[in-house]
Chain A
Amino acid sequence: MPKSESRESHAFRMSRRKMMKGVAAVMGALALPEKDASAVVWESFFQKHFRELKPEEMQKVLARLEKEYSGQFRKAVKVRATPPREGVLYGYGLDLSRCIGCRRCVYACVGENNQSRNPQIHYIRVLQLEKERGVDLEEAEHYYNPKTVPEKGHFYMPVQCHQCESPPCTKVCPVQATWKERDGIVVVDYNWCIGCRYCMAACPYGARHFNWKKPGLPEGEMNPETHYLGNRPRPIGVVEKCTYCIQRVRNTPGRYTACVEICPVGARKFGNLLDPESEIRYVIENKRVFILKEDLNTRPKFYYFYAT
């Protein structure tokens, strides 16, 4: 595994801790009032990178976030940091012979993952393409709006994060705020991201989105079951993306992602690539599969296929 994607060495952590302690001591010496709000601001400002948090620090961070979100959305919000499961590598299949472009996946995702409604953020973008031209992205229609779908002569290709095995986005992040987890999901630490948007320039699939404004998430529509690296409410000025519903799939047993469950035609397939009995393996082994922009060698774990 590349060095930058492995956990920090113990020695590194020690020196950083010492440094942070020193800084914190100096700050403490400024004798700030011990009010809750300022203490929270202080803690969140100095919060370490997710992968460097020790278990008890992690618990404190999660508790702080739960308190913050529960207060903000006036319901009991849970923030978990469920680790990846052993022997699992998530794969996704999308049946292009079935997708009708109804966009129900787009909005199911929005509801499950607590995306900002205003300004609007969608993790999934459904493209309408002409059957005659095939997959020609320069001629894709994003804003189709007929009375019913599918429209004659067209087919539909939804695009979302492909959770690449060789992600170009994690390579370019200057602060390692985004990385690929052991189970294959590419995640973002929203409390570490500095919002430089280099990853957005690097992604060939347009999968990453930025919070240009404070996200507008109505409390009535907020999904309180959240994961630290997934669907917890994001702050302003950070990048976010599809995480294969990390809050669902890492549970025991793991639920399907929201988009898989909502698809009315069953065009979406999800499972463990390392399990020879899974649906996704069946798809890869038996169907005509293709990868979008395969020449870029990003090795996505998102497989478009034709079931028929």
Chain B
Amino acid sequence: MKKIWEFFKGTLVLVSKGSKAYYTWMFSLLVLMAIGAATYAHQLSNGLIVTAMRDQVSWGFYISNFTFLVGVAAAAVLLVIPAYVYKWKPIKEIAVLGEMLAVSAMVMCLLFVTVDIGRPDRFWHLFPKIGLLNFPQSLLAWDVVVLNTYLVLNLVIAVYICYKHYNREEPNPNFFNPMILFSIPAAVSIHTVTAFLYNGLAARPFWNASILAPRFLASAFCSGPAFMIMLFQVIRKYTRIEIKNEAIFKVAELIAYSMFINLFLLGAEVFKEFYSNTIHVAPMQYLFFGLKGHSNLVPYIWTAMIFNVTAFLLFLIPQTRENFVTLNIGCVLIFIGVYIEKGMGLVVPGLVPDVLGEIYEYAPTGTELLLSLGIWATGLFVYTLLLRVAIPILTHEFYVGDDGLKPVIVDTEFIRRSGTLAPSHKD
């Protein structure tokens, strides 16, 4: 027990010390989080009327962000599968960073859902036994179960790995492997369940397509790893963590395949709607071309399409994949493209035109944008905190001392150019 307490105290010391860049980053995030909190207070006191959601479009920007982030969280699997299942060395050491991304993304997901519901004071109604969880009939009840399970699972795995490394011990495979193996179907499950909760609604023909769950998974495997690729480059530049180019290029290649599947499935959907030309083509018509003079989403979706196709080509062609300039451009394009396509480009057309044919053009209000920004800042803040602890552990700069109790913190300067780092202290 005392060991864990010392470890925890050590982490507190770690997170409160860093370079100027670190402080600036954390401070800006805190400011954004404070603004978000104030915005939420405003929303709580006035009700959800401060958003642009109305009866006709009852889900909007918050749920769009939630859907996108569930995909990012699921994508941690992309790193876990090769790392632990195939024991592929170049990725193994850094897979834990992917799991921590999953944790941060899950935190953001839960926050987005909390700010979206009308009565957050009644959240306890969702707990089984204390409240009344409509499991297994309601897909949202499933989502509550799998999302929290996935969050806890990834947190336990990441903390376990870090703690073991901190103690300079090898993780116990009997405890560890089952959890890792379980996290793979868990990751697939969170996104499948989220897809099913849209898919199961017969009232919304845009969502009621069997192709939705595969599309979700395909697009998830594009967005999360793209973020990781950019993050790895930052980490290996500013810390002592070694990330081989091979690992990065391999992830990029996997993204290319996922994006191909995503684009193919999208093409299949588009063909079916426009060729069969039933009345159910209306939402897709609204999304891509506008409907009856309403065309709010058209520029966004075409931007997303162009970004996705360009990024796909950049990742597919080995020359552009292995050139860091084009690779990073591809990552940014794909992240934004999937954010649009799976966020507003999925949720809003599902509700427009509404079930009685009415078109209400939804565009998020300032409140929604500020609050979402605050939640993203929270997620980044959590992730930075986790990295602040994990990276020194992985580079052997934060470990338990020889007395087996007090932690040793070698370098309190976090985020500095590798050339200026003090010589490493490896035991």
**Is B121 a contact partner of A4 (Cβ separation < 8 A)?**
no
Chain A 15-36 interface residues, beta-carbon cutoff 8 Å to B: 15-16, 19-20, 23
Chain A 243-299 interface residues, beta-carbon cutoff 8 Å to B: 296-298
**Is B201 a contact partner of A172 (Cβ separation < 8 A)?**
yes
Q: Decide yes or no whether B122 CB sits under 8 A from chain A.
A: yes
**Is A197 a contact partner of B58 (Cβ separation < 8 A)?**
yes
Q: Decide yes or no whether A174 CB sits under 8 A from chain B.
A: yes
Q: Decide yes or no whether B387 CB sits under 8 A from chain A.
A: no
Main SS at interface, chain A = loop
**What residues of chain A lie closer than 8 Å to B355, measured between beta carbons?**
137, 203-206
From B129, B131, B138, B144, A172 is in contact (CB under 8 Å) with B138
**Is B55 a contact partner of A210 (Cβ separation < 8 A)?**
yes
Q: Mark A160-189, 1 if CB is under 8 A from B, else 0.
A: 000000001001111111000000000000
**Is B47 a contact partner of A236 (Cβ separation < 8 A)?**
yes
**What residues of chain A lie closer than 8 Å to B130, measured between beta carbons?**
16, 19-20, 23
> Which of A8, A45, A136, A175 lies at the interface centre, i.e. has the most chain B CB atoms within 10 A of its CB?
A175
- Whether A296 touches B282, Cβ cut-off 8 Å, given contacts A174-B126, A197-B118, A198-B140, is no
**What residues of chain A lie closer than 8 Å to B117, measured between beta carbons?**
194-197, 237
Q: Decide yes or no whether A60 CB sits under 8 A from chain B.
A: no
Report Cα–Cα, A138/B359, bound state, in Å: 9
**What residues of chain A lie closer than 8 Å to B357, measured between beta carbons?**
127, 137-140
Q: Please classify how large the interface on chain A is, using the bins under 10, 10 to 19, 20 to 34, 35 or more.
A: 35 or more
Chain B 95-132 interface residues, beta-carbon cutoff 8 Å to A: 113, 116-123, 125-126, 129-132
- Whether A194 touches B58, Cβ cut-off 8 Å, given contacts A204-B355, A296-B203, is no
**Is B119 a contact partner of A238 (Cβ separation < 8 A)?**
yes
Report Cα–Cα, A296/B355, bound state, in Å: 12
Q: Decide yes or no whether A154 CB sits under 8 A from chain B.
A: no
**Is B118 a contact partner of A210 (Cβ separation < 8 A)?**
yes
From A4, A20, A194, A236, B137 is in contact (CB under 8 Å) with A4
**Is B58 a contact partner of A195 (Cβ separation < 8 A)?**
no
Q: Decide yes or no whether B344 CB sits under 8 A from chain A.
A: no
**Is B125 a contact partner of A138 (Cβ separation < 8 A)?**
no
From B47, B133, B354, A214 is in contact (CB under 8 Å) with B47
Q: Decide yes or no whether B10 CB sits under 8 A from chain A.
A: no
Q: How far is the CB of A115 from chain B (nearest CB, A)?
A: 12
Q: Decide yes or no whether A201 CB sits under 8 A from chain B.
A: yes
Main SS at interface, chain B = loop
**What residues of chain A lie closer than 8 Å to B48, measured between beta carbons?**
195, 210, 212-213, 237
Q: Decide yes or no whether A62 CB sits under 8 A from chain B.
A: no
Report Cα–Cα, A142/B203, bound state, in Å: 19
**What residues of chain B lie closer than 8 Å to A204, measured between beta carbons?**
202-203, 355
Q: Mark B70-97, 1 if CB is under 8 A from A, else 0.
A: 0000000000000000000000000000
**Is B201 a contact partner of A201 (Cβ separation < 8 A)?**
yes
Q: Decide yes or no whether B49 CB sits under 8 A from chain A.
A: yes
**Is B121 a contact partner of A45 (Cβ separation < 8 A)?**
yes
Report Cα–Cα, A192/B124, bound state, in Å: 10
Interface size on B, residues (CB 8 A): 50
Q: How far is the CB of A284 from chain B (nearest CB, A)?
A: 24
**What residues of chain B lie closer than 8 Å to A136, measured between beta carbons?**
279
**Is B138 a contact partner of A138 (Cβ separation < 8 A)?**
no
Chain B 185-233 interface residues, beta-carbon cutoff 8 Å to A: 197, 200-204
**Is A175 a contact partner of B126 (Cβ separation < 8 A)?**
yes
Closest chain A residue to B53 by CB distance?
A212
Closest chain B residue to A159 by CB distance?
B356
Report Cα–Cα, A214/B48, bound state, in Å: 10
> Which of B121, B125, B197, B354 lies at the interface centre, i.e. has the most chain A CB atoms within 10 A of its CB?
B125
Q: Decide yes or no whether B46 CB sits under 8 A from chain A.
A: yes
- Whether A2 touches B137, Cβ cut-off 8 Å, given contacts A195-B118, A211-B47, is yes
Q: Decide yes or no whether B134 CB sits under 8 A from chain A.
A: yes
**What residues of chain A lie closer than 8 Å to B282, measured between beta carbons?**
138
Chain A 207-232 interface residues, beta-carbon cutoff 8 Å to B: 208-214
> 28 A-B Cβ contacts within 8 A?
A127-B357, A136-B279, A137-B279, A137-B356, A138-B282, A138-B353, A159-B356, A172-B200, A173-B138, A174-B144, A192-B122, A194-B118, A194-B122, A196-B140, A197-B59, A197-B117, A197-B118, A198-B197, A200-B55, A201-B204, A203-B355, A204-B203, A206-B356, A211-B118, A213-B48, A214-B47, A296-B202, A298-B202
Which A residues lie at the B interface, using CB under 8 A? 2, 4, 8, 15-16, 19-20, 23, 45, 49, 52, 119, 125, 127, 136-140, 142, 159, 168, 171-177, 192-198, 200-206, 208-214, 236-239, 296-298
Given A202-B201, A212-B49, 16 other A-B residues pairs in contact with their CB atoms under 8 A: A20-B130, A137-B279, A174-B141, A192-B125, A193-B122, A194-B126, A197-B59, A201-B201, A204-B202, A206-B354, A212-B54, A213-B46, A213-B47, A237-B47, A238-B118, A239-B118
